[in-house]
Amino acid sequence: MSTPQNTPVALVTGGASGIGEAVSRRLASRGVRVGVVDRDAVAASRLASEIDGLAVSCDVTSQSALNSAFGEVETWGGRLDVVHLNAGSVGGQSGITDLDVEAYRRVVGVNVDHVVFGLTAAVPALRRAGGGTIVATASLAGLVPLPGDAIYTLTKHAVVGYVRSAAATLGPEGIRAMALCPGFADTALIAHVKEQFGDFPLLTPNDVADAVDDMLERGEPGECWYVQPGREPGPYGFRGVPGPRTGAAPPSLSWDS
């Protein structure tokens, strides 16, 4: 099947289920060709066949595997315009009075390493396309503490800080980097504790896909969009940190020289 070279192409990690599936379907409905990247090869293939996309099986904690996935999607689509780094994992431990180091390394690998590896893999492809957008799924726990899971909170705060910093570098090149910060969503990530929520309202994956739609349409570099049930999604307003009393501007640091 031949497609025009200017048809937009997206890559979605964790794209075969939950929020990733909803975003993949939404992008496809907008005429975007979608590379569905997921560790579950069967689920990725099933979704890709339904949306005329490309399925790529990938361990997102591996830099080489992610680089290969990005290359495969760009070669298939002829370009890359949108990257949604959505794969994620819960911590499953407090990380305060207990620490399973293997589980800790796993959640950091999925929630942090994957975003760093994914963003650095995305940038060359987006440059070749003349610009584009990167959306990293963080969490409301990237903006406020989640006392029951300090490890998960740590990783999502890391995503928010990384994206905000990267955006300042990439924005002048026409590459928007933004973070998506949804509250509790009814996905497999909370299935094991869902009964504890009782009547507490949960987001649906489509609610979050709506927010991604809005971000792609009008989001600005470095913004971190909250998503909460019954509220219009929008960028979180960070308070400025007081500077030194001298009033001097902060240094613009570069480690390349």
Q: Considering the domain boundaries, does residue 255 fall inside one?
A: no
Quote the distance between the C-alpha of residue 239 and its chain's center. Answer: 23
Residue 243 lies inside a defined structural domain of this protein: no
User: Which of 82-91, 197-206, 219-228 is the most confident on average?
Assistant: 219-228
178 phi and psi, to 5 degrees? -140, 160
Summary mean pLDDT of the chain: 91
Confidence of residue 164 (pLDDT cuts 50, 70, 90): very high
Known catalytic membership, residue 236: no
Collect all residues with Cβ–Cβ distance below 8 Å to 196 and sequence separation of at least 6: none
* Within-domain flag for 247: no
Q: Which of 104, 152, 162, 226 is catalytic?
A: 152
Residue 129 has what pLDDT?
97
pLDDT of residue 73: 98
In a domain, 101, yes or no: yes
Q: Is residue 56 part of a domain?
A: yes
Does residue 103 fall inside a structural domain?
Answer: yes
Confidence of residue 140 (pLDDT cuts 50, 70, 90): very high
Question: In this model, does residue 216 exceed pLDDT 70?
Answer: yes
Three-state SS string over 91-152 comes to CCCCCCCCCCHHHHHHHHHHHHHHHHHHHHHHHHHHHHCCCEEEEEECCHHHCCCCCCCHHH
Mean pLDDT of 55-75: 98
- For a pLDDT cut of 90, what percent of the chain falls above it? 75
Q: Which of 41-50, 175-184, 245-254 has the highest mean pLDDT?
A: 41-50
Check residue 203 and give its pLDDT: 84
Q: Which domain holds residue 18?
A: 9-235
Would the pLDDT of 232 be above 70?
yes
User: What pLDDT is stored for residue 125 in this prediction?
Assistant: 98
- 17 found inside a domain: yes
Q: What is the CATH classification number for the domain harbouring 36?
A: 3.40.50.720
- As for how many domains the chain has, the answer is 1
Residue 246 within any structural domain of the chain = no
Question: What does the pLDDT average to over 2-29?
Answer: 91
Section 227-244 average pLDDT: 90
| Model pLDDT, residue 113 | 98
